[in-house]
Amino acid sequence: MAFVFLKFSPSLSLHHNPSPFFPLTSPPKPYPPISLFIARKQQSFSSNVVLCTSSTAAPAVPSEGDLESSPQPRKRLIAQNIPWTCTAEDITNLFQKYGSVVDVELSMYSSDRNRGLAFITMASEEDALAALNGLNSYDLDGRVIKVEFARSLKKNPSLETTTIEKHTVFVGNLAWRVRSRDLREFFAPNHNVISAEVIFHSNPRRSAGYGFVSFASKKEAADAVASLNTKVFISINTTNIMFTV
């Protein structure tokens, strides 16, 4: 079965996605797979939660202590536990009640069923904050959705940088005790890992349940996606991988 990743900005388009995705909420027992996909949007590793397959300056991997909210306007939101029947247009119509919606990216199980996760980019930080305040814990068709700002990484100017081609995989539904070192070690034995980072909330400090792993080539990233699908991660979760091209 083929799986797709839908993007709405403003017209809907399809991307190939060969595997399912599970919502990034605290996993019930038995633990569901973690989920991964390769982000396509052209953005800097240090500026946005959905990372790029592009040439960027890649600093040494920072520790979790280097995480903070982006100093630039925070306009990107992540919405979790959305109803499976929602479309990108439904998400747009919901969020535009609070401001101008620039872009919606919706992860899909199939052409007519999503897997409970969407990224929404608003026109301004004010619009994003209004949507967050209005829609976090909102009951949408019987499901309480969770809306928060997508997290980002803090630049550390003291670290040397090298411009390299990076291909980054989004890793979702991580066990709460997973750290960046665990994530890197999970991928490293058979893949050339450039960096790995688990995203953390700052107040209270806790894992956001997702992270990113960057590879030197598109083939490395694709091989990781293919080989780690449904694999057990530190004896807690198994991997479920989504891949957009």
Residue 10 lies in a domain: no
Please give the residue range of the domain that contains residue 186: 31-69+156-241
Q: Is the domain of 191 the same as that of 237?
A: yes
Among 182, 6, 227, smallest CA distance to 109 is for 6
Dihedral Cα 27, 176, 154, 91, nearest 10 deg: 10
Q: Is the domain of 61 the same as that of 175?
A: yes
Please tell me the distance from the alpha carbon of residue 187 to that of residue 136, in angstroms, as a whole number: 33
Query: Between 70 and 46, whose confidence is greater?
Result: 70
Residue 3 lies in a domain: no
Residue 12 lies in a domain: no
Flag whether pLDDT at 197 surpasses 50: yes
Give me the pLDDT at residue 168, please: 81
> What are the pLDDT digits (tens) for 170-188?
787 778 888 888 888 888 8
Report the predicted TM-score, pTM, of the whole model to 2 decimal places: 0.46
- Judged by average pLDDT, the poorest of 47-61, 92-106, 172-186, 197-211 is 47-61
**Number of domains, the chain:** 2
CATH number assigned to the domain comprising residue 117? 3.30.70.330
Q: Is the domain of 199 the same as that of 81?
A: no
> What are the pLDDT digits (tens) for 111-158?
788 878 889 999 999 999 999 999 999 999 999 999 999 876 554 444
The strand ranges marked E within 60-144 are: 76-80, 101-110, 113-122, 139-140, 143-144
Give me the pLDDT at residue 129, please: 95
Flag whether pLDDT at 162 surpasses 50: no
104, 121, 149: which is the final residue of a domain?
149
Q: Are 3 and 242 in contact (CB under 8 A)?
A: yes
Residue 180 lies in a domain: yes
Residue 108 lies in a domain: yes
**Which residue bears the tokens 């929602």?**
86
Q: Is the domain of 64 the same as that of 172?
A: yes
95, 128, 149: which is the final residue of a domain?
149
Q: Is the domain of 133 the same as that of 189?
A: no
Flag whether pLDDT at 19 surpasses 50: no
Q: Which helix (H) or strand (E) holds 5?
A: strand 3-8
Query: Between 234 and 179, whose confidence is greater?
Result: 179
Among 45, 12, 4, smallest CA distance to 199 is for 45
Give start and end residues of each alpha helix (H) in 136-206.
Answer: 180-187
